[in-house]
Amino acid sequence: MSPPRLAVFDCDGTLVDSSANIVRAMHGTFAAFGLPAPDPHAVRRVVGLSLVEAMQALLPEADAGLHARMAEDYRHAFQRLRADRRLDPEPMFAGVRDLLDRLAADGWLLGIATGKSDRGLAMCLAHHGIAGHFVTLHTADRHPSKPHPAMLMACLADAGVEAARAVIIGDTVFDIGMGVAAGVRALGVDWGYHEAAELRAAGAAAVARDAAELGALLDG
């Protein structure tokens, strides 16, 4: 029997589309601090970073204390949005659930490395009923922000899989950079928050246009 393979997924922009609530929460946080709302495109560009790093990118001239306070406010704002049943939950992208089912049936070990919090990730996976698919979960609560490789290295250690038998799948250059730093093959998806050309330039081995193409890349 061949040794197992590990596929580690980003969450926001790769498994689920959380952009609407992310932009709403960010606008609410900026308003709470008396600041003009950031451009929605700029907000989507920082998805995948840890919260403090996202605030640093959106407000590079502000001090570290403000970044930390805004990150905490955003965390609470996003939780309130999650609890508002009038708003749409974070939908999974087309074909992703079937792909996860198929990979698990084919013997792949699956993991997640995400800028979400532990609580946010748990709620997302429970909502979609897919928590049981994953053998390793790592978030920004316990690791440096992407593209630092700590989250991905922890996934490898949990699964007992060498880097050469693993792949990281994500929609941002932060995901791809994390894979490059860890020596793990990186695949991009073009349905998320960064452009395909950016992902390739960052080191993605390939960029999938849909879940079926991603499955074919993983089989290759």
Residue 2, SS3 per DSSP: coil
How does residue 100 score in pLDDT terms, banded at 50, 70 and 90? very high
Question: Which of the two residues, 18 and 136, has the higher pLDDT score?
Answer: 136
Whether the predicted pLDDT of 86 surpasses 80: no
Q: How far is Cα 199 from Cα 197, in angstroms, rounded to an integer?
A: 5
Mean pLDDT within 134-159: 97
| Range with the poorest average pLDDT among 88-92, 108-112, 199-203, 208-212 | 88-92
In the chain, what are the domains?
Answer: 6-17+90-219 (3.40.50.1000), 19-83 (1.10.150)
DSSP letter at 115?
S
How does residue 157 score in pLDDT terms, banded at 50, 70 and 90? very high
User: How many percent of the chain have pLDDT more than 70?
Assistant: 98
Identify whether 36 is preceded by a cis peptide bond (ω within 30 of 0). Answer: no
Mean pLDDT within 90-108: 95
Mean pLDDT within 187-201: 96
User: How many percent of the chain have pLDDT more than 90?
Assistant: 85
Whole-number Cα distances in Å, 156 to 126, 160, 180 = 23, 6, 14
Residue whose entry in the numeric block shows the structure tokens 């920004």: 140
